[in-house]
Amino acid sequence: MISVAFAAEHGAEAVHHAGPFYTNAAFWVGISFFLVVALAAKPVGRGIGAALDARAAKIRARLDEAHKLREDAQEMLATYQRKQRDAMKEAEEIIAHAKSEAERLSAQAAKDLEETLKRREAQAMDRIAQAEAQALKEVQNIAVDVAVAAARQILTDSFSGVQAAALVDASISELPKKLH
């Protein structure tokens, strides 16, 4: 302990009574520190700068990739919107075509129906005309038969057998004159 007390007593005097500054150890420790810091600053600064540059390059690459992805996404969105507009336009065209086709088919069906009705009406009119002609013929045939029967009855009642024979002979003799 004596040595500690002696060093404390004489150490304080030594600091105050020391010689020139370059003989002091603290001075050389400070100089050494500044030299080490100065010599290490350049390579350490380059390393830190390179690390920061690499990080900045990575960030720039990510930003570029993000911009590219955004542009691609906007392009895809525009493409899908254009496809959707085209699909809507095509759907509208299909609907319009279907409506016009339905109207055309409806008009054609009405026209066909009208033609069919006219044709059937004409057929019915032809049948009616044929039925009328046949009925008229039948009536005429019946009228002829009735007239012939009536004439026969009248002739048989009004002529005697001799008169009838004379009339038949006269008719036969006139027949060749009337045929030529």
pLDDT recorded at residue 6: 58
**148/163 Cα distance (integer angstroms):** 19
Burial-class residue 24 by CB neighbours within 10 Å (0-12, 13-18, 19+).
middle
65 occurs within a structural domain: yes
Which residues span the domain enclosing 157?
30-179
**Choice between 166 and 29, residue whose per-residue pLDDT is larger:** 29
Query: Is the torsion defined by CA of 165, 167, 173, 175 positive or negative?
Result: negative
pLDDT recorded at residue 71: 96
147 occurs within a structural domain: yes
**127/116 Cα distance (integer angstroms):** 16
Which residue intervals of the chain are DSSP H helices? Answer: 2-16, 25-158, 161-179
**6/9 Cα distance (integer angstroms):** 5
What letters, b where the CB count within 10 A reaches 16 and e where it falls short, cover 141-158? eeeeeeeeeeeeeeeeee
Domain count, the chain: 1
pLDDT recorded at residue 157: 77
Per-residue model confidence as pLDDT tens digits over 33-87: 999 998 888 888 899 999 999 999 999 999 999 999 999 999 999 999 999 999 9
**50/145 Cα distance (integer angstroms):** 138
User: Among all chains, which residue has been given the structure tokens 């390179």?
Assistant: 50
108 occurs within a structural domain: yes
Q: Which of 5-9, 123-127, 164-168 has the highest mean pLDDT?
A: 123-127
5 occurs within a structural domain: no
Which amino acid type is present at position 106? S
17 occurs within a structural domain: no
91 occurs within a structural domain: yes
At 30, the pLDDT band (50, 70, 90 cuts) reads: very high
45 occurs within a structural domain: yes
23 DSSP assignment: G
